[in-house]
Amino acid sequence: MKTRDYQIDNIKGLLIILVVFGHMFLASSSENNWLTTLIYSFHMPAFIFLNGLFSKHINVKKVLHFGCLYILVQLAYILVVKTTNYPWIPESDIIVTPIFHVWYLLSLTIWYLLSIIIKKFSLHPAFVLIISVLLALFVRFIDLGVDGNYFAYARTIVFAPFFFAGYFVSLRELLNFRNRIQNFKFFWLILTVLIVGLNVFYFGNDAQNWMRLFFGYVNYSHFADSNVVFIGKEIVQYLLGSVAIIILLSLMSVNRGFLNRIGQHTLAIFICHPVIYFIVYNHARRYSPDTLKPIMTSLVLTVCAIIWSLVVERLLQIVKNSDN
């Protein structure tokens, strides 16, 4: 693309704000509720789809870049979590067991590598998508005896279909599809209301289990559902993520604005924002999710985290420019 697609940047801006807000809500709320299930049901699938969309020309250098970035960020957050006394940290294999959000950098590295292999052998899109979905369902039913976060293997496999769906869609096809669905905005708006209602009245009543499902790394053995019910829930997860992507393409503005500017800095915000989360985690008061207090607290922390991330990014740019 010769010019930036404002809508894509708007979508990325909204998604990264939801990522940050979702994390801050976990730190300021006493438990999960419909709001967390709503956010986690689609924000990472949509993000991963967009990463796949812009991965058509990935090369080995890019793979190595993200692999090194993963190691650097993982080492940095090992120091952060130890300094802030964060209660959940791997006791062993800490280098290859991503801390908190760092799994995404490792998963991206693996997906980028797989995209190179797919391109080299000209694998058919239908074949790749079917295999990725079957593997995603299968990995939920096997117990390897290791943490699902180990090498980020569970999330990498569970969310892979969204990455490959984006990878096999050309920008021209996406734009044509967007133009067609925008003629039915009222329908997508109604569907959005129905999905929010589903979260409020169904997912929210069993938020703990649905959150474990949406996290993507929890094995079937940790759920009380039968095989058929669990597979049904997995399919619902993929349907929700897919429908959310369509809704975003149909309803998000195509004009330049605040979200557009935020959307151009998603990587820096994603990497840096948890510093605020880790700092406040052991000190923030946790409120009932049924009140406005955790929402207001999370909004304030979200603003602080985004500002912090942008400042760090700017400082690093200044240092880089001075070296040149």
Task: List beta partners, residue 287.
Answer: 29
Contacts 24+ apart (CB under 8 A), 267-270: 268/309, 268/310, 268/312, 268/313, 269/16, 269/19, 269/20, 269/305, 269/306, 269/309, 269/310, 270/16, 270/19, 270/101, 270/104
Q: Kindly state the percentage of the chain with pLDDT values over 70.
A: 99
Q: What is the pLDDT of residue 36?
A: 95
231: burial class by Cβ within 10 Å (0-12, 13-18, 19+)? middle
pLDDT of 146 reads: 78
For the segment 223-252, the average pLDDT, to the nearest whole number, is 92
pLDDT surpasses 50 at 2 = no
pLDDT in tens, 129-181: 999 999 998 888 887 777 778 999 999 999 999 999 999 999 899 999 999 99
CB-count burial class (<10 Å; 0-12, 13-18, 19+) for 259? buried
Min mean pLDDT across 2-6, 92-96, 124-128 is at: 2-6
Residue whose token pair is 């062993």: 92
3-state secondary structure of 122: coil
Confidence of residue 1 (pLDDT cuts 50, 70, 90): very low
pLDDT at 324: 66
Share of the chain above pLDDT 90, in %: 78
Q: Is the pLDDT of residue 124 over 50?
A: yes
Q: What letter represents residue 42's amino acid?
A: F
* Rg over CA atoms, the chain: 19
Contact 89, 99 (CB under 8 A): yes
In a 10 Å sphere around its CB, with 0-12 CB exposed, 13-18 middle and 19+ buried, how is residue 149 labelled?
buried
The chain-wide mean pLDDT, for the chain, equals 93
